[in-house]
A and B are shown apart, each in its own frame.
Chain A
Amino acid sequence: GAVVSQHPSRVICKSGTSVKIECRSLDFQATTMFWYRQFPKKSLMLMATSNEGSKATYEQGVEKDKFLINHASLTLSTLTVTSAHPEDSSFYICSASFRLADTDTQYFGPGTRLTVL
């Protein structure tokens, strides 16, 4: 149980275009979804936190207008990288959490490798 999927797993796009990444919790309803960016030397950077039906909370230094997050339902969140540039190339990972026995546990998607040419 507690499976999270991401789509696509890899995407290559031209500079200036927009890319949408989907994150789905397949067998549970997520109270909260998170979006991370992982840099080459493995450090994980939290970009934003989103709750269903409300606006995402962005971490300091993350551009809201560039990284659009929509959390349409308890099982789906999307991250749209708008007007992508080569420096946006990275590994993007989402996670979803729910509370079980007063403990919040995050379950991660497999990640999306974005390459901007």
Chain B
Amino acid sequence: GNSVTQMEGPVTLSEEAFLTINCTYTATGYPSLFWYVQYPGEGLQLLLKATKADDKGSNKGFEATYRKETTSFHLEKGSVQVSDSAVYFCALFRRGGSYIPTFGRGTSLIVHP
């Protein structure tokens, strides 16, 4: 079956530090890959997505590249802010037909001033 593995958190950084949150997946076929962000007490918001190999999703300074050869979709940001503190979820959806979305367990990011 499909699965998504994220690095354990929390990840604690100082403001303006470089961020990487690792995500690897196993899936049949050609899934679409997503990063969602959840702020305290809220639902999940779509952060970025990539639908095929070598695609790069980007939004709000965050980037992730769909790497089929390493089955990875690592999230990066060059300079984090305190307001980026949240929980980040990596997810995959198999394209086409019926599908069940698969989420990672989430990685908590804490950014200190």
Contacts and interface: CB of A to CB of B under 8 A. Distances in A.
Interface of A: 2, 4, 6, 34, 42-44, 46, 49, 93, 95, 97, 101-111, 113
Contacts of B45: 108
Interface of A is mostly: strand
B93 A104 contact: yes
A110 B42 contact: yes
Count class of interface residues, chain B: 20 to 34
16 contacts: A34-B101, A42-B87, A42-B105, A42-B108, A43-B105, A44-B44, A46-B100, A46-B103, A93-B44, A95-B44, A105-B46, A106-B101, A108-B44, A109-B43, A111-B42, A111-B43
Nearest to A113: B41
Given A42-B106, A104-B95, A108-B36, A6 B43 contact: yes
Interface of B: 32, 34, 36, 38, 41-46, 49, 51, 87, 89, 91, 93, 95-96, 99-101, 103, 105-106, 108
Contacts of B46: 2, 105-108
Nearest to B9: A42
A106 B43 contact: no
A110 B51 CA distance: 25
Given A42-B105, A49-B100, A102 B95 contact: yes
- Nearest 4 A-B pairs (CB), nearest first? A108-B44, A110-B43, A108-B43, A111-B43
Contacts of A34: 101
Nearest to A34: B101
B103 A44 contact: yes
Contact of B34 (A93, A105, A109): A105
